[in-house]
Every structure is written in C-alpha cells, then in structure tokens.
Amino acid sequence: MRLDASPAGVDQTAVRRANLARVLDEVRRGEVVSRADIATSSKLTKATVSSLATELIDRGLIRETGLRRDGAVGRPGRSLELDGGGITALGLEINSQYLAARGTDLAGRVIVERRLGFDAMRADPETTLDRLAAIAREAVTELAGTGSSFLAGIAVAVPGLVDAETGRVRYAPNLEWRSIPIAGALRERLGGDVPIVVDNEANLSALAELHSMPQPAADLVYLTGEVGVGAGLITGGRLLRGSGGFTGEIGHVPVDLDGQVCGCGRRGCLETKIGLPAVLRAAAPDLADQDVDPQEQAHALRQRAEDGGPEAMAGFDEIGRWLGIGVSVLVNLLNPEVVVLGGYLGTVAPYLVPAAMRELRDRSVAGDAAVCRITASTHGFSAAVRGASSIVIEEIFRDPLRIPAAEKAVD
Amino acid sequence: MRLDASPAGVDQTAVRRANLARVLDEVRRGEVVSRADIATSSKLTKATVSSLATELIDRGLIRETGLRRDGAVGRPGRSLELDGGGITALGLEINSQYLAARGTDLAGRVIVERRLGFDAMRADPETTLDRLAAIAREAVTELAGTGSSFLAGIAVAVPGLVDAETGRVRYAPNLEWRSIPIAGALRERLGGDVPIVVDNEANLSALAELHSMPQPAADLVYLTGEVGVGAGLITGGRLLRGSGGFTGEIGHVPVDLDGQVCGCGRRGCLETKIGLPAVLRAAAPDLADQDVDPQEQAHALRQRAEDGGPEAMAGFDEIGRWLGIGVSVLVNLLNPEVVVLGGYLGTVAPYLVPAAMRELRDRSVAGDAAVCRITASTHGFSAAVRGASSIVIEEIFRDPLRIPAAEKAVD
C-alpha cells in the first residue's frame, strides 16, 4: 500500500519548513550566531542545525561571517547572519490622496521609497491602477538594480474591504470602488508570476506597528486617521479577520443617529466626527476645502494646534472627546493593551489624547483596569505601505521554502 | 552536564500530554474505536497507541468494550469508548435573579441540575455566596452518590467582569459588586482542593454554544439577554479575552448619548434599549415592575408576542431595530459568522429578528457579504451554567494528566 506515502511526505516537508523557519528566526533575533548557539536554543541536534543552515545559505537567506557576536574576529565562516540582500519585497499603497511604494530586502533595509500625490477619489480605478503599476515597475527595476535580486512578493494596501483570497476590493467607501480585482489588474499590467496579495490599509498598518515594537503587544488596535477612519485589530498576537475578512469598521459605528450624513450614506458614523474633513471643519475651517495630500493637511493642523488659537483648541478638544467615545467602544469590546493613532490622528495626538483619555476613563466599564494607552504611531502616513512590504518579508520567515535554492555552482 | 535534563523532561511530558489528548479525542469523536483505528488516524504507532490507551484506562477516562463500531460483537476488550462515568464536573451560575448548578460526567451526561430563584441584586455578596455554596454542596453530594466519583473541577459563571487568574469579580454592574473574590470565598465555604475557576456568563455561554454545534463556527458572538446585555466573542475558534479579560461589553456601547441613564451610570447605553427592563416597558409595561425570574418574564413576553397586540408588536419592532444597531456594531467590527441570542432575546427571537436583520442589512459596511445569521440559542437560560460545566470537561480533554491514575489493584 502506498496510500500513506503522500501524507507522510507532506508531514516531513512541514517539519522541515518549521525547522528552517526556527533556525532562520534564531539568526534574525541573534544577529550573529553560531550553529552551536542555535542547537542549544532550538534543542535541535548540531547535525540537523548544520543541514538546515546549509539549506538556508543555498536559498540566500543567511550567510557565514567571520564575526562573532562579541565583535571579535573568530574562526572565519563559523558564525551566521541574515543575508537576504538579494531577496526583496515590494509594498504598494493606494490612498485616497496618494500612491506609494516601498521596497526592502529581507532584513527590512529600505531600498526604494516612492510617494506620489494622486487624487484617487476622482480618478477611475483603471487610471489609478495604471499609475500604481507604473510606480511598481520603477520600484521593481530599482530593486533588481541592486544585484541578483529575487522579488519574493508584492503586497498592496487599500482603503477598503478586501477579499484577501482573491485580492479583490469588495468596497472602498471613500474611493467609491466596488468589486475591483486589484491583484488581477496588477498582474495583467506587470506580467510575471510574483505573488501579489491585497489587504486593508488598517490591517497592514497594525502589522507594521506590531512588527516594529520591541515587545509586540498581544492586543493592539491601530486607528487610521485620514478621510476614513478604520481599525486594524490585533488580538492574541494575530490579526482579527473574522469570517470573511471584513473587520475593524469602527469609522461606521453610529455615535449620533441624528447626525451628519457619512460617505457611506448613513447618519452619524464616528467618521463624520473624527475623519480628517470633520477635524478640518472644526479646528481649521479655512483649510477644509483644499485638495491636498492628507500629510500636508495634518502638518497644517498641527501648526494650528501649536499656535494655540481658541477656535483650534476648542475644535481639538471636541474631536478628542469623540475619539475617546470611539476608543471606548473598542476598549469595552476588545480590551486592547494599546490603541495606536495613525495618519493625522497621530500627527496631532498631543492635542487630542487628553480629552480622549478623559472620555475613555469615564466610559470604561471595567474601570481603570481596562483603560489602555493611546499613543501616536511612529510611522506617520507610511504605516500601511510599511505593513505591506513587511508582510511579504514575514511570510518568508514563516516559510523559507518560498525562496528557491540557488543552482549548484561547480566547486 | 545535567542542565538539559529538566527541559527535556518537560518536553516529554508535554508530548505525552498532547498524545494522550489526541487519543482521548479520537475515542470521543469515534464513539467506539479500536486501537488500530486510532493508530491509522493519528499516525502514531500501534505500540504507542496501546500504551496511551492503557494510561487513559488507568485514569478512568476510557474503557474497553466488546462492541465494534458497526454494532456487531467483536473480539471482546479490543474496542475503546469514553468511560468517565466516575469523572465529574460542576458548573455554577450567579444570575441577578437566580442561582444554578449543573453537574455532568466526562461524556457530558447531566447528573444533577438545580435552579433556585434568588434576588442577587438585593442580597449582599456574602449571603449570595452562602446560598451558592449550599447549592454546590448538595450538587457535589449528588455527584459523589453515583459511585467512585472524582470531581475534576468547579466553574462559576457570573454576570460581570472577571479577573480569571484570581477568580475575582472586578465589577458586576447589575449586582453592584466590586472586587469580590468568588473563587476564594467558595473555597473557604466548600473546603477541599478541587480547582475552582470563575468566568463571565457571556464567555461561558459562547463556549456552550460552540461546544454544542455540530460544526463549530470559528467566529461567533453570543449575546446575553437579561437585565444586562453582554457579548461572548469567539474569534478564530477561541474566546477573545483581550489584555485583561474585560471584553464583550456591547451593552454599554453608547447608541443614544442623550438617552436614558443606564445601570452603569452613563447615558444611552445599548442596554437601556434592549435590556429586559427596556423590552418589558416597551412591549408589556404591566409586567415591568414585577420581581420575577427572567425566564418567567421572557415566557410572559413571548405570550404577548403570540397574542399579537399592537402595543406589543410595535414594542418588539422597536427593540428589534435597536438590537440590529447593536449587532451591526459587532458585525462591522468583528465580522462573525453567526450571532446567537441568549436569555429573553432568544425566547422572543422570532419577533425581534426580522427588524434586526433589516437594520443589520442597512448598516453592514461590507454589504451582504458580511451580513451574518442571527439565531436563537437552543440552551435558553441555561447556556452560562452549561458553559461552566463544559469548560471543566474540555480542560480534561486538553490535559488528561489532570485526572489521577487509579491505584494499581492486585490482579
């Protein structure tokens, strides 16, 4: 009977994949480690570690170095460090006001960064995708220019609800896009067979925060702060995706049922209170109707706050109060350790957080025990595109077999 | 060097624990299986399975049977089935209007069930815990009466926020309890050393639903419907506990900031719209001020709905609409596959769900793709106490080593 052969084979590949990932992770965390160090910490035998290390070297993921951890020069070729200069990842972002690209190598070193003002709210999807593809092509060329580069994947951040399996945007309220097959459209424009994945900007931003924390929080909420307000939810160390991938729509929680009409057509959504247009109206009405990059608007807003005019200060206090109401919903439902403010919310955080914290303390059902920190993202408006490039990298760390082994050279 | 001995020992126990759990689970799922069946499906060797089965038999968790799966009589003593008649679990519940107990054996067969009307909203915590301990003692006696019984644990459901690690209720709004050490207080009253855990009623009810589904939903929300309204959140197949265990407070999401004052002191919480007192006021005002068991009130409400009076119907429609608003918040944030209505919400579900579904369809940001089922719990008012007994049982299936091996008898 050969029926068992295939499942057994699958299991062995799974074990090898997990062990390769383990050794690769040890090298990443240790920066410079020996095979013996890895054997000790992983509890694998030295022979197994050696075989795994050889395979990772063949795949261009790690390399031998003469350096020892203490900086002294040891027996050459015995210590290991992350290689991956030849392995690259590309993150792309479609924002309502700009397009962006970010290419890194395996260690996360930035090789290319592009950001282009673009009014995706007025452009049709075809034009937007043409421009995005043009930016992607330039970035790919630049990544390839660094040497014998292998592009491991492309991830695209979009401000909408995404069917992650098909790479299709189901609905992007502020772009007024419905059922746009982003992954397929980019594949057509770019050719080739590099994997292309698409995800929501808030999800990717939350992952960018998580991956850049020295001690990743198991329960974190990232709030986007642009025209739209969405949440990326990390619970138990993982992205909360729900049954179909449609989570985190905090911007459309109704907080004032008789309030203003939202971009989604409903009344009194949180977004009508703390979205960028609302805060501009409240704190800097003369800037409200200008079509400019949200990052510039955020800086103008911050300037107003620093100037300390009474209109601006009253506006920020009011926005902070609504932000606190929104955060209290997340806290009472999800009990996160930290809420990270992205976009303009992060830029003007010092002027919003005091009022928001007052409201949160008042509204936390569990009292002070559940009151979490509210903090500004350190990534400004680049969190989503950072998250996009980082998920490609993290996927390699999860499954090193994605990277093909080099063809054997003659010794 | 013997330094490695201890970690290696720990790993071996963990492996044995996992393998015992695997074999025990195969027996549970298969009902009647042979060692050979288990070896095939678990990919463990027959010798390993035999050794694990012997250990599970020693611990009283499984037993040999002459029956084969097809009902025919096979070689006696070769097939295995769940034993566990001698292993019992006790669930307890403190509700604002009643106390309950439910004792089962390992297979979930109910051995004892008690429910006692008790106004915990007016009684002080000491009196309530005295009564609960008395009910627990009776139940333990009855469980022990079934033979050489081993009580594996006690779990207590409470309508409040619980610090699960210490078994302390931090805050139970409708009982007005703050910082009551439930586990410790019961331990004092009951003596002995049986493990006592405490958890929120909504969490335990959600687990009861999950454990009773033929195909457990990975993403499920359970809504309690009594004086208070809380949510038990299952995401990715697990209870969402957040950073401190304070999740699911959907009842205190503000839906009408100028609305009525809630039991928590804030205005316009969802609970003021769909809690049992609110629905009584809206659909059966003459029943509103009677202090009776919520189950009886729910049945009276259902009777009103069936009678179809215009006041009642308008009331149910209004409550259904608010329910839909509350469910839409959960759907837009968490994208569950199903929302299960418990308590009175389940009893009168047919009269609430149409209006709730209309509201949910209107408010689902992702449109129909994210609209989930809203269904009535099949457990009525017993979900929490069922969940309590079932978590004790599930903990045994996760870690069979919790059950001590029988002392060896002379052959």
- A366 and B219 within 8 Å at the Cβ level: the answer is no
Which residues does chain A have within 8 Å of residue B243's beta carbon, measured at their own beta carbons? 217-219, 335-337, 372
Q: Report the pLDDT value the prediction gives residue B5, as an integer from 0 to 100.
A: 36
Amino acid at B255: V
- A334 and B240 within 8 Å at the Cβ level: the answer is yes
**In chain B, count of helices (H) and strands (E)?**
13, 16
CB contact B254 to A (< 8 Å): yes
> Rounded CA gap, A248 and A260, in Å?
21
The tokens 């690259």 sit on which residue? A88
Amino acid at B88: T
The tokens 């809690």 sit on which residue? B275
Q: Is residue A73 classed exposed, middle or buried when 0-12, 13-18 and 19+ CB atoms within 10 A define those classes? A: exposed
The tokens 């709004």 sit on which residue? B173
Q: Report residue B163: phi and psi, to 5°.
A: -85, 100
Are A347 and A299 within 8 A, CB to CB?
A: yes
Are B42 and B26 within 8 A, CB to CB?
A: yes
Nearest to B244 among A242, A250, A370 (CB): A370
Mind listing the pLDDT tens digit for each residue in B264-308?
889 999 999 999 999 998 888 888 877 778 888 899 999 999 998
Q: Report the pLDDT value the prediction gives residue B410, as an integer from 0 to 100.
A: 44
Nearest to A367 among B171, B257, B363 (CB): B171
> Rounded CA gap, A116 and B56, in Å?
65
CB contact B7 to A (< 8 Å): yes
> Rounded CA gap, A139 and A186, in Å?
14
- Best of A223, A328, A333, A371 to substitute, by most chain B Cβ atoms within 10 angstroms, is A333
Nearest to A329 among B170, B253, B325 (CB): B253
Which residues does chain A have within 8 Å of residue B254's beta carbon, measured at their own beta carbons? 255, 325, 328-329, 363
Q: Report the pLDDT value the prediction gives residue A321, as an integer from 0 to 100.
A: 97
β-strands A62-65, A79-82 pairing: antiparallel
Residues whose CB falls within 8 Å of the CB of residue B187, separated by 6 or more in sequence, listed in order:
B196
Per DSSP, A51 falls in state: H
User: Which parts of chain B have pLDDT scores under 50?
Assistant: 1-10, 76-77, 409-411
Length of chain B in terms of residues written: 411
Q: Give how far Cα B119 sits from Cα of B122, B127, B385, Å.
A: 6, 11, 17
Which residues does chain A have within 8 Å of residue B365's beta carbon, measured at their own beta carbons? 161, 171, 173, 246, 249, 252, 264
Nearest to B248 among A233, A255, A333 (CB): A333
Question: What residue ranges define each of the domains in chain A, with the CATH number in brackets?
Answer: 5-82 (1.10.10.10), 87-205+385-402 (3.30.420.40), 215-380 (3.30.420.40)
**Share in percent of chain B as helix, strand, coil (round to 5):** 45, 20, 35
Q: Report the pLDDT value the prediction gives residue B93, as an integer from 0 to 100.
A: 97
Nearest to A363 among B238, B243, B266 (CB): B266
Q: Is residue B211 classed exposed, middle or buried when 0-12, 13-18 and 19+ CB atoms within 10 A define those classes? A: middle
> Rounded CA gap, A303 and A312, in Å?
10
Residues whose CB falls within 8 Å of the CB of residue B117, separated by 6 or more in sequence, listed in order:
B97, B98, B292, B293
Q: Report residue A33: phi and psi, to 5°.
A: -135, 160
Which residues does chain B have within 8 Å of residue A238's beta carbon, measured at their own beta carbons? 236
Which residues does chain A have within 8 Å of residue B245's beta carbon, measured at their own beta carbons? 335
- Best of A335, A360, A368, A372 to substitute, by most chain B Cβ atoms within 10 angstroms, is A335
Are B183 and B168 within 8 A, CB to CB?
A: yes
Question: With a CB-CB cutoff of 8 Å, which residues 349-408 of chain B face chain A?
Answer: 362-363, 365-367, 369-370, 372
Calculate Rg over the CA atoms of chain B.
24
Q: Give how far Cα B35 sits from Cα of A7, B76, B360, Å.
A: 20, 13, 50
Mind listing the pLDDT tens digit for each residue in B59-81?
999 998 865 555 555 554 478 99
CB contact B256 to A (< 8 Å): yes
CA–chain centroid gap for B235, Å, is 15
Amino acid at A124: D
Which residues does chain B have within 8 Å of residue A372's beta carbon, measured at their own beta carbons? 243
Per DSSP, B167 falls in state: T
CB contact A165 to B (< 8 Å): no
Helix or strand holding residue A194 (H, E): none
Q: Report the pLDDT value the prediction gives residue B148, as an integer from 0 to 100.
A: 63
Q: End-to-end distance of chain A based on CA atoms, in angstroms?
A: 41
> Rounded CA gap, B368 and B60, in Å?
50
Which residues does chain A have within 8 Å of residue B8's beta carbon, measured at their own beta carbons? 43
Question: With a CB-CB cutoff of 8 Å, which residues 299-328 of chain B face chain A?
Answer: 325, 328
Which of A262, A274, A264, A272 lies closest to A301, judged by CA? A274
- B365 and A43 within 8 Å at the Cβ level: the answer is no
Are B234 and B223 within 8 A, CB to CB?
A: no
Helix or strand holding residue A116 (H, E): strand A110-117
- A252 and B365 within 8 Å at the Cβ level: the answer is yes
Q: End-to-end distance of chain B based on CA atoms, in angstroms?
A: 42
How far does the CA of residue B243 sit from the closest CA of chain A (Å)? Answer: 6
CB contact B245 to A (< 8 Å): yes
- A366 and B171 within 8 Å at the Cβ level: the answer is yes
* Residue B93: both structure tokens together: 């519940």
User: How many contacts, defined by CB atoms under 8 Å, are there between A and B?
Assistant: 158
Instruction: Determine the 3-state secondary structure of B237 from DSSP.
Output: coil
- B240 and A241 within 8 Å at the Cβ level: the answer is no
Which residues does chain B have within 8 Å of residue A250's beta carbon, measured at their own beta carbons? 332-333
Per-residue pLDDT of chain A (411 residues; tens, 9 = 90+): 333 333 334 467 888 899 999 999 999 988 778 898 898 888 888 999 999 999 999 999 999 886 555 555 555 447 899 987 789 999 999 998 899 999 999 988 999 999 999 999 899 999 999 999 999 999 999 998 866 689 999 999 999 989 888 999 998 888 999 999 999 999 999 999 999 999 999 999 999 999 889 888 999 999 999 888 999 999 999 999 999 889 999 999 999 989 999 988 899 999 999 999 999 988 888 888 777 788 888 999 999 999 988 988 999 999 999 999 999 999 999 999 999 999 999 999 999 999 999 999 999 998 888 999 999 999 989 999 999 999 999 999 999 999 988 755 444
> Rounded CA gap, A65 and B237, in Å?
44
Q: For A162, which residue in chain B has the nearest alpha carbon?
A: B366
CB contact B48 to A (< 8 Å): no
CB contact A121 to B (< 8 Å): no
> Rounded CA gap, A179 and B276, in Å?
41
How far does the CA of residue B254 sit from the closest CA of chain A (Å)? Answer: 7
β-pair partners for A173 = none
- A161 and B366 within 8 Å at the Cβ level: the answer is yes
- A243 and B218 within 8 Å at the Cβ level: the answer is yes
Which residues does chain A have within 8 Å of residue B362's beta carbon, measured at their own beta carbons? 266
**Share in percent of chain A as helix, strand, coil (round to 5):** 45, 20, 35
Instruction: Determine the 3-state secondary structure of B313 from DSSP.
Output: helix
How far does the CA of residue A42 sit from the closest CA of chain B (Å)? Answer: 12
Which residues does chain B have within 8 Å of residue A7's beta carbon, measured at their own beta carbons? 43
- A253 and B365 within 8 Å at the Cβ level: the answer is no
Q: Is residue B351 classed exposed, middle or buried when 0-12, 13-18 and 19+ CB atoms within 10 A define those classes? A: buried
CB atoms within 10 A of CB B17: 15
Which residues does chain B have within 8 Å of residue A236's beta carbon, measured at their own beta carbons? 236, 238, 240-241
Q: For B367, which residue in chain A has the nearest alpha carbon?
A: A171
CB contact A236 to B (< 8 Å): yes
Which pairs from A280-285 meet CB under 8 Å and 24+ separation?
A282/A314, A282/A315, A282/A316, A282/A318, A282/A319, A283/A311, A283/A312, A283/A315, A283/A316, A283/A319, A284/A312, A284/A315
Instruction: Give the torsion sign (CA, A361, A322, B334, A223).
Output: negative
> Rounded CA gap, A109 and A87, in Å?
11
β-strands B87-94, B150-158 pairing: parallel
Question: With a CB-CB cutoff of 8 Å, which residues 71-110 of chain A face chain B?
Answer: none
β-strands B87-94, A196-200 pairing: unpaired
Nearest to A246 among B266, B330, B366 (CB): B366
* Residue A390: both structure tokens together: 């980082």
β-pair partners for A169 = A162, A180
Are B179 and B192 within 8 A, CB to CB?
A: no
- A249 and B43 within 8 Å at the Cβ level: the answer is no
The tokens 């991938």 sit on which residue? A245
